[in-house]
Structure 1
């Protein structure tokens, strides 16, 4: 019997789903073929193997050590602290890093710049990565009310697509607002001093801003509006040079496994995580720290192949905004060999 071709006869929503699967299947099949064409990941870590890993706000190193995973690593790991994805990318370019945790945008910027830094693991959350903080004295009750406002814009960071998606959901364009280019580290100061109207802040900066400037009228976009935005997505990405080194590749494989276990530990042992990081490292009160942890939602560790369409949509949003010279292929940003490692931790 010949295959039916009467897709137009399907109801709208069903037809969109079928067409979506039809478009997605070749993409995933191609990605699987790419993964199969690569050599298998090495598993042997020779004595003396070293990794240099980028950190932000000392969160990663505290997580790995407090969870006990650091002591289990066969390699010697050194952490280097950075502020934001662009600085991490520069360190990769200089050959100073092997691995880093970043948001969803730095891999896109690396790809656009011709740097080969494949994604090797991912962690999603049930909550958003950022919150839209509003300068003291100003109230914004919906995404649509962003029209005419000045908004901090961190190109090359996860805040970039977060803001672009906010505008898209509100049916606004760049011309409807004033995007102010700033370094991620300058966002908190800029919003609390009123240099800009709105800034996408992550924790603990968001909670600190609301608490420290409450008497001046500090506020934020209501949670139900913020929840319209995409959920948190954190990547581990690695230098291609490190992945081409059998010893380092094996060490990175081991670290991916440790990162997943440590992340799960943090959610199963909230009090210990709060004390180790937010209280002892960030000098927050335990009650405030617990609120932050609760706001981070529940973690999941999806396969990299399942994230290709999501990453492609991010690429397209940034490209449509005119911040990419050409449309990129998201498949090229993932090392799908690590899906076996992820599957072994999630099955």
Structure 2
């Protein structure tokens, strides 16, 4: 009898263990199902209007490959090219875009003006990708030589911050130069005519000018500015479609992997889109490190705060801002 009872107990324990295992499996399957259901329930945005520049390599690759159109088949994806970041963020703030890509300075001016937008992602620093240029035969050879000179750059752009940092390193003040606020195309024309003494600019305009007229960099961003770049989104995109944002950032990182492992094809994609010759694109990409897109890390938030503080200290924005207030924090 005892043997029979022990046998029945073993059978009962085995059944309970199997039931517990089955329950764990069921719970795991249910959890995965709930995650998928949450993603599906969110749905994709009906429209995704993207503002970008020629410097936005990952976005250019996505555009050329139609990757976001495939990721969001029910979404109307529209691509809008701009000459610089300030124009992108102005369009974003008035509801003409859902997503944009800029350098470090435009978001500072946008936040100072109370624009409704959020940092959703960033790429690693690219200090070699911007420079203060002079003509090949210029008599300017050091940053201190900029005193009293006319320097062209896009107001509120990353080049603006580069000039601020260059002056500080040279022991000069903002009052020591004549800032000439021009969009990239107009700045290049003025630079080539000799109407300005120097031009602060980023790639690929920087590379194109080097290739075409052998312009000389007085200094690049190394030791001056990290030249960080950010993805920014409208308030509705952040509030309603967080899962879509995660998909976008992943797609951007996949595009960067393509650039790193298929350099010749990437050069062709960018050249075909931009109209820039392949020599210019190759030079441009040679200065660009691997650039996956990720949610903004704490170190870059702190770096961006220092950018904002620099403009506030010079009185170029009216009051101190807190960058972290507008940084999107994804939930798992």
Fold-level similarity (TM above 0.5): yes
* Equivalent of 1:243 in 238, 246, 249: 238
Moved more, 296-305 or 194-203: 296-305
Two-structure CA RMSD over aligned residues (Å)? 2.4
Residue 321 of structure 2 is aligned to residue 331 of structure 1: no
3-state SS in 2 of match to 1:189: helix
For residue 268 of structure 2, what is the aligned residue in structure 1? 275
The aligned counterpart of 1:227 is 222
Equivalence map 1:165-244=2 (5 Å): 165-214=165-214, 218-221=215-218, 226-244=221-239
Is residue 291 of structure 2 the alignment partner of residue 299 of structure 1? yes
Rounded Cα–Cα distance in structure 2 between residues aligned with 1:125 and 1:311: 11
Check 1:77–1:71 CA distance in 2 against 1; reply closer, same or farther (3 A cut): closer
| 2:249 equivalent to 1:256 | yes
**Following the alignment from structure 2 to structure 1, what is the Cα–Cα distance between the partners of residues 97 and 131?**
29
Give the counterpart of 1:55 among 52, 57, 60.
Answer: 52
Deviation string, structure 1 residues 204-246 (Cα, Å, up to 9, x no partner):
22222233224xxx422156xx52222231100111122222x
- Unmatched segments (≥5 aa) in structure 1: 1-41, 341-347
Tell me, yes or no, if the aligned pair for 1:304 and 1:334 is still in contact at 8 Å.
Answer: no
Query: Quick one: structure 1 residues 282 and 95, their matched pair in 2 at CA, closer, same or farther if it must change by over 3 Å?
Result: closer
TM alignment of 1:1-347, pairs within 5 A: 43-44=39-40, 45-46=42-43, 49-57=46-54, 59=57, 61-66=59-64, 69-70=67-68, 72-74=70-72, 75-135=75-135, 137-214=137-214, 218-221=215-218, 226-245=221-240, 248-278=241-271, 280-299=272-291, 301=293, 303-337=296-330
Q: Deviations over 1:4-52 (max 9, x none)?
A: xxxxxxxxxxxxxxxxxxxxxxxxxxxxxxxxxxxxxx73352673211
CA deviations on 1:300-339 (whole Å, 9 max, x unpaired) are: 556433322101100111112210101111211211227x
Q: Which moved more, 1:110-119 or 1:49-58?
A: 49-58
Which structure is richer in relative contact order (CA contacts within 8 A, separation 6 or more)? 1
8 Å contact kept, 1:86–1:106 = yes
Label 1:113 to 1:239 Cα distance change in 2 as closer, same or farther (>3 A): same
What SS does structure 1 have at the residue aligned with 2:124?
A: strand
Change in 2 beyond 3 A, CA 1:183/1:71: closer
Total equivalences in the alignment? 290
